[in-house]
Structure 1
């Protein structure tokens, strides 16, 4: 009798569990290494924000897993061929474009307010305001006007013809009914007062399959289903994103069951993931995805020592990047030549290279005036030491190891390196945006396919107090030829001509070295065996943009 009762209980519990899973009554807990400095989709360029926003927000259009432009909020990608885009003459003598989008029917914000063309226009008002603090201000400056045809249809009037005219990954709609009063009261303070940070659990901020229900700054963000999401119903009722800035703690929490998976975008480095796979690969699905992730060192070119190109070249000759890759990453992260990936079709192989050559490094430093050695450190004629400070994201074990290798290898050529790291939300939210690093910052840029580096290399994109700290040219690089190449590449529709320009850009980058190229990073996704549907992209579009496809095996 007791056996029968036990069997009945087991069957009932199993049926209950299956029923709960069938209803999607499950929680998925994700571990990442950074907490967003903001949740506003258009402020700051921090990857942690993009990762969370992939579940709570959607762009008009973006690149998919096959690196093709696809619609997220629109009904069809507008092209010159299908008539959605049209070339037009402008008074300035340069052709422009009219690009018409139609929003999908039934789109609503998380509080039930319809998404309309008014939100599109308001987002442009914010993005084009010189004091709003929007990250990609250049995108909004290029939109000269917006014609509203109806509540769902509108036309962007662009001031130029570009090859990427229908890719609007950085055009993330803002809810006008919530954000407009905040913005209009004081545009210059908008970035500090946005409801995405002052009232992040407001359902009306959500335009994705999930909305923020609760958060603990620096530690956790809890998401629940957005009841007004009109797309595919996501499997998980709740997703908890937990932050462990120390990657050792991240791995320990996975093994203890406190989290279900480790994000590939913000998780373990390739060396850590390979070691994890050796030890625990039978219990997890480990995916290594090469991508457009450029690990490098930004140099503050306002620093008079780094302003000397000979010093920049010497620093790169003084690094054995190949050995670092082999010893730390099992050779899985190739040495970067420039900021353009070998995976990208515009990659140029024939550029100046900097193989490890300490003798050449020393010769360049001496040529630049750093001739006197005192206690192992070079000094110039004025007695100034050749000393730099390097910063990176505190708690990232691999980057901290790289810093130690840099410190050791540069010491061999007489360069002293001091390490001072910051939490990611401080480094990305304040220090880099305001160019408050004295010499070097080690981090990664993540890009889309054939992403023109205007925001990071064009002289108009140097953040300053005068422009409201807009732009991502944190190095302060200013080169007329680079500006011209960027301008020309964007408007060249002929692929072969554009490829030639890209080759010249990469050659110039390798000669000037506004940043020190390190590696092309592969992302490692560590997933439970029962989770299906996670598809890494290899570009700046995070896997969470398709979170509604994630599900438990068999459901």
Structure 2
């Protein structure tokens, strides 16, 4: 794959590379499967209101929450043989609730009012509201209390850096999936072997090695030479490469294009005074010919994104504003925003401030680097100077985005679950800062009370039609405010060797490696 994880702690940071490795070595409590159905991975049965596993309750006068009870599978063990138990649930909740722990999805932990533990395997979460996805626990990633508690208690504020997941990654006690990590070479590789403590379906492969090749052209060369067997679909070849590759090598490989909920976009640092003016953001949007990018680079297989919600998602609304390419309108907006004077081809305002912006992205991704150049050229035509910057993904995601260290624009992708409420990326309470130890994913610093109200209301609306209306209003405000510049919805490209069977692309947040035990080499006689 093209990226090396910036962290191996399941609750620190958000990076697809980590999710792909941990799909094989850990499991969330629940996940969306390849058929887009919510299923239990760690629990014996998905709790619902209908089966009595979830009960709406009043926890204060006029305030309703919900009690959801899960029972862990009896066969789960950490790699050192210690049973996965409710002690780990309690510890994980403690870490998630601590204001200095730096977990990525802190809001989910804040909503849990109380934890009741029935026994070693059964527990109940009492939450402060009734949400439509009340039984989805994909962000609750268990931590091994017997290994991690001493580290956390020693210094909660430093836990994100001193966790055993970072300092002792090959410790078997950290992993309970079908595989465990046995060797890491930072920036280069992650080696896994079968986990003897795993009691689920036995994985076919004894050993799996993730090799990190950040340059996508080199990735293709390594695949053809046989030095690697498979390029992971979610983080591998770019679509333009795959289109060409398929024509040349369809006798050796099956190429599967999986449209899904992967949203390529540009985050905007709204603390930058040049970008705080909505007219400038609108001009940036109007100055991009996204239809041409989709047609020429992707043969239309990666459609233009008009908002942050994919038309494949049931909550999509066609009512969001659509921006067609209109350089003349963009110039008028920049004139109105006070950048009417042009010197040396670059606009400036009355104070002499040049309209010069930095655009950062991940190094080695041919598509992104090419799009960077296209954007630089298109924005130059409307008088905006764009400086390009690329960084290794582990730096870009670990520091630049997570710590809001980019000065202007950051181009990357979000991947979401079906009907996902984008609270963590848009709510004003989710802005990462040093004060909250860089928790949250609203890296642009977007603040809009009406958006906050909608996000809060969407989560607790159980009626599908009313919820869809709220989603529609959210998309309308999103495309009017433009805290983010939508680019396109990605299709993941799975370039599968003919002999590799069992890989099922999902098209959403939960990656294909969560079902790695189904992967196998085909029998030579198998058709």
TM bucket (normalised to shorter chain) is: over 0.9
Equivalent in 26, 41, 54 of residue 10 of structure 2: 41
Question: What residue in structure 2 maps to residue 345 of structure 1?
Answer: 314
Q: Give the 5 Å matches for 1:258-273.
A: 258-273=227-242
Deviation at 1:94, TM superposition (A): 1.9
Determine the C-alpha separation between the residues in 2 that align with 1:515 and 1:115.
40
Which aligned runs of 4 or more in structure 1 are off by greater than 4 angstroms? none
- 1:9 aligned residue: none
Pairing 1:426–2:395 present? yes
Residues 186-205 of structure 1: per-residue CA shift (max 9 Å, x gap): 00000000111101111111
- Correspondence for 1:108: 77
Between the aligned partners of 1:382 and 1:66, the Cα distance in structure 2 is: 56
CA distance in 1, matches of 2:3, 2:249: 24
Number of the residue aligned with 2:325: 356
Partner of residue 321 from structure 1, selected from 290, 299, 305: 290
TM-score, normalised relative to structure 1: 0.94
> In structure 2, the residue corresponding to 1:196 is in which secondary structure?
helix
SS at match of 1:428: helix
The aligned residue for residue 494 of structure 1 is 463
Alignment of 1:57-456 (within 5 A): 57-91=26-60, 93-456=62-425
Change (3 A) 1:519 1:379: same
* Aligned partner of residue 161 in structure 1, secondary structure: coil
Per the TM alignment, residue 331 of structure 1 is displaced from its structure 2 partner at its CA by 1.0
Q: Confirm or deny that 1:521 pairs with 2:516.
A: no
| 498, 501, 526: which one aligns with 1:532 | 501
| Equivalent-residue separation in structure 2 for 1:235 and 1:357 (angstroms) | 54
d(CA) in 1 for partners of 2:300, 2:29:
38
Distance in 1 between residues matched to 2:210 and 2:61, nearest whole Å: 49
Secondary structure in structure 2 of the residue aligned to 1:95 = strand
Distance 1:116 1:263 in 2: 32
The structure that has the greater radius of gyration is 1
Deviations 1:118-157 (A, max 9, x none): 0011000011111001110111111111100000000001
Per-residue Cα deviation, 1:96-138 (whole angstroms, up to 9, x for no partner): 0000000011210011001110001100001111100111011
Partner of 1:96: helix, strand, or coil?
strand
Aligned length: 524
Q: Which residue of 2 aligns with 1:510?
A: 479
Question: Cα distance, 1:510 vs. partner?
Answer: 0.6
- The alignment partner of 1:449 has SS state of coil
> SS at 1:356's partner residue?
coil
CA deviations over 1:157-200 (Å, ceiling 9, x no partner) = 11110001111111111000100000011000000001111011
C-alpha distance in 2 between matches for 1:229 and 1:163: 33
3-state SS of paired residue (1:89)? strand
In the alignment, structure 1 residue 541 sits paired with structure 2 residue 510: yes
Cα shift at 1:382: 1.1
User: Alignment partner of 1:177: what SS?
Assistant: helix
| Paired residue secondary structure (1:471) | coil
Shift of 1:392: 0.2
Task: Give the Cα–Cα distance (whole angstroms) in 2 for the partners of residues 94 and 290 of structure 1.
Answer: 40
The match for 1:29 is none
Distance 1:413 1:401 in 2: 19
Aligned-partner SS, 1:157: strand
* Structure 1 residue 239 displacement after superposition: 0.3
Q: Does residue 474 of structure 1 match 2:447? A: no
- For 2:468, what is the secondary structure of its paired residue? helix
Deviations 1:280-312 (A, max 9, x none): 121101111000000000000000111000000
Match of 1:10 in 2: none
Which SS does the other structure have where 2:235 is aligned?
coil
* 3-state SS of paired residue (1:115): coil
C-alpha separation in 1, matches of 2:62 and 2:437? 30
* 3-state DSSP of counterpart to 1:289: strand
Q: Which runs of 5+ in 1 are unaligned?
A: 1-31
Deviates more, 1:325-334 or 1:89-98: 89-98
Q: Which segments of 5 or more consecutive residues in structure 2 lack a partner in the other structure?
A: none
State the superposition RMSD in angstroms: 0.8
CA distance in 2, matches of 1:161, 1:305: 40
TM-superposed CA distance for 1:93, in Å, is 2.7
Q: Deviations over 1:444-494 (max 9, x none)?
A: 000000110110000000011111111000010000000000000000000
Q: CA deviation at 1:92?
A: 5.6
Q: What residue is the counterpart of 1:27 in the other structure?
A: none
CA distance in 2, matches of 1:187, 1:93: 35
